[in-house]
Structure 1
Amino acid sequence: MGVRAAVVVCVTSFMLDQNLWTAATYYSIIANGPAQIQYAVASIILLGATTILWSLRDGRAGNLMFDGGSIFLFCTTIWMYSYSVLPSIFSLFKNLPPHPSTDAIPEDLQSAVFDLASNNLICSVALTGVLGLQAGRFWAESADNDDDEIESLKATPGPSRGKTPQSE
């Protein structure tokens, strides 16, 4: 039993170290990327925030509920990236030490990768919530439009309802 457990732990650790080095290399690429990419990402984020805030201006209750929740989740994500994810990436992964992927990852770098993965998971869940809320808003608005069409058909006088010029 002890030998099997040791082999499984060694194989798992080897695979985990390779994946951690892959994640660390990814974060290093982000940290050392051209500033234009960072400006483009910031512009896209600003466009998304502006669009959500803009839709609040019509003041309908559905917009306040769906867009208010979206703004909260969107701002939570921006806060997480601004105060946790990006500072960690730029401080810890700017100068990644040279290494073969078979080396064990240093303890401090391993901890940083796990922290970033946790923070990115939080951001992913929050952004998935934004997508869900916006889909719910779309569904609610389309259901309201369907109800309006049904009401307008009911208001139309009986004999001419449903008749087209070809049917006469």
Structure 2
Amino acid sequence: MAGLRMSIVVSATSFLLGLLFTHWIADSLTLWKSPSTNSDPRLWIAATYYSILTRMPPMLAYIYVAVAVLGGLTLLWSLGDGRAGNLMFDGGSLLLYSSAVAMYLYSVLPNLFENFSALPLPFVRAEPTAPPSTSPSVPPFPTTLRTPTLELASSHLVCSVALTGVLLLQAGRWWAEQKDVDDDEEEAPSPDEKAVVKDEKEPVKEKKKAS
């Protein structure tokens, strides 16, 4: 049962972590960049991606929520066993997992729907008098959107680091449990040792019968 619960937690966490990794195509344009390199085209590309996220089908959002709830409930279930290993590894995993979920609920989602859901698509515009071969111009990026765009990339990074910590703790738990199993197998007597002990006890019983 412990292996099943661990598999569910790892699968749910990996699924959510994969979703956050897909945002890297937009986050990488603004994260750890100096103000001089955060040009308007980069910011518009990131804002376009975030705006598309707010327009995804509701069914996908329900799937993401279901996976996140499943992972959290499984961690709570495993933590309820009260075993020392569960309290240490699953307790830390639950803390990191809940931190990532709270960051997404109270920082990422409000930022997305408040600042990017009403943006029109596409953002680029072509000049009416420009020849067809000319690339479309990019309008100046609004100053009011600059900070929300940078905060989204930072929030996604925090969630990714927290979920990566969950995977590391679950890997540590698996290693600790395997170590305990190996130690128990080493301490348990082998079949040959059991046979030797049995042979040593049988003469004692025969002497008692003879007396």
TMscore range, shorter length? 0.7 to 0.9
Please say if 1:53 is aligned against 2:53.
Answer: no
Aligned counterpart, 2:41: 18
Aligned counterpart, 1:127: 163
Query: Structure 1-normalised TM-score?
Result: 0.79
18 and 146 in structure 1: CA distance in 2 versus 1, 3 angstrom threshold: farther
- 1:140 is aligned, of 167, 170, 176, to 176
2:46 and 2:195 map into 1 onto residues whose CA distance is 67
Moved over 4 A (4+): none
Larger mean CA deviation between 96-105 and 33-42 belongs to: 96-105
- 2:186 is aligned, of 145, 150, 155, to 150
Aligned counterpart, 1:103: 139
Shift of 1:155: 5.4
Aligned counterpart, 2:59: 36
- Give the structure with the larger helix fraction: 1
1:79 and 1:18 map into 2 onto residues whose CA distance is 31
Amino acid at match of 1:123: C
**Alignment check: 8 A CA contact 2:85 2:173 kept:** yes
Please say if 1:64 is aligned against 2:99.
Answer: no
Amino acid at match of 1:90: F
Amino acid at match of 2:72: A
Superposed CA RMSD in Å reads 2.2
Structure 2 spans left out of the alignment, 5+ residues:
1-33, 125-136, 197-211
Identity %: 51
Shift of 1:159: 7.9
Number of residue equivalences: 149
Amino acid at match of 2:37: T
2:92 and 2:78 map into 1 onto residues whose CA distance is 13
1:155 and 1:55 map into 2 onto residues whose CA distance is 33
